[in-house]
Amino acid sequence: MNSDPRITCDPATRPPIAPAEKAGLRKALLAARRALPASTRTAWDAAIAQRLLAWCAQEKVKELGVYWPLHGEPDLHDAYAQLAARGVQLSLPVVLEKHAPLAFSSWTPGEAMVKDGMGVAVPAQLRLRPAPATLLVPCLGFNEERYRLGYGGGYYDRTLAQTPRPRTLGIAYACLAASFPNGEYDIALDHIVTEGDLYCQAR
């Protein structure tokens, strides 16, 4: 069960989360996400996947940076396989050095994977390529201004600070919307898709 009364994973009754020190908020959000029942997670992942597929078709996405799920992040592998079948070029982020932007390797669903020094799955044979034009960004938490709360490593922030900047689509469960201050180097995402709501950049 979720022990933090500020966080609920019932999207119909979730209250706003009061501003909190980020380390504590990360811990609370991570616990809430891990507490989701497997059946709920499966249903929400399927809903997010369908919204992702529809968005990519609408936006005519030709290349997409995806992610390998960690710590209870939405698992979108089925959507990745469908996108690859449509001819979308997929890539996975790779950490080549600390305190640096992410690198990217071309990836095909089903190919051999290994774990890097941080325990993250990466292609067994790296095929480095430029950053993709569109990038999925997993969110531990997010706010209404489309700022993301991650694990604190800063890899995505450094990646998005580069030029040209990829178009970004945050991926999150709606119940993990939170209230938190934005840091000096934080960069708002263009869109955030959840199993329910879509938070869009103003046009």
**What CATH number did the domain enclosing 70 receive?**
3.40.50.10420
The total number of structural domains in the chain stands at 1
107 falls within a domain: yes
With a cut of 70, say whether residue 19 has pLDDT above it. no
- Which DSSP string do the residues of 55-117 spell out, in sequence order? HHHHHT--EEE-----TT----HHHHHHHHHTTPEEEEEE--STTSPPEEEE--TTS-EEE-T
One-letter amino acid at 40 equals T
Specify the DSSP class assigned to residue 144.
T
7 falls within a domain: no
| 38 vs 9 pLDDT, higher one | 38
Domain holding 112, by residue range, is: 22-200
Tens digits of per-residue pLDDT, 81-108? 999 999 999 999 999 988 899 999 999 9
Tens digits of per-residue pLDDT, 102-116? 999 999 999 999 999
53 falls within a domain: yes
164 falls within a domain: yes
11 falls within a domain: no
* Half-sphere CA count of 161, side-chain side, radius 13 A: 12
168 falls within a domain: yes
Tens digits of per-residue pLDDT, 190-199? 999 999 866 6
Q: Sorting pLDDT into bands at 50, 70 and 90, what band is 14? A: very low
126/6 Cα distance (integer angstroms): 42
Classify residue 34 as exposed, middle or buried by CB count within 10 Å of its CB (0-12, 13-18, 19+). Answer: exposed
Q: Sorting pLDDT into bands at 50, 70 and 90, what band is 21? A: confident
17 falls within a domain: no
167 falls within a domain: yes
- pLDDT at residue 125 in the model: 95
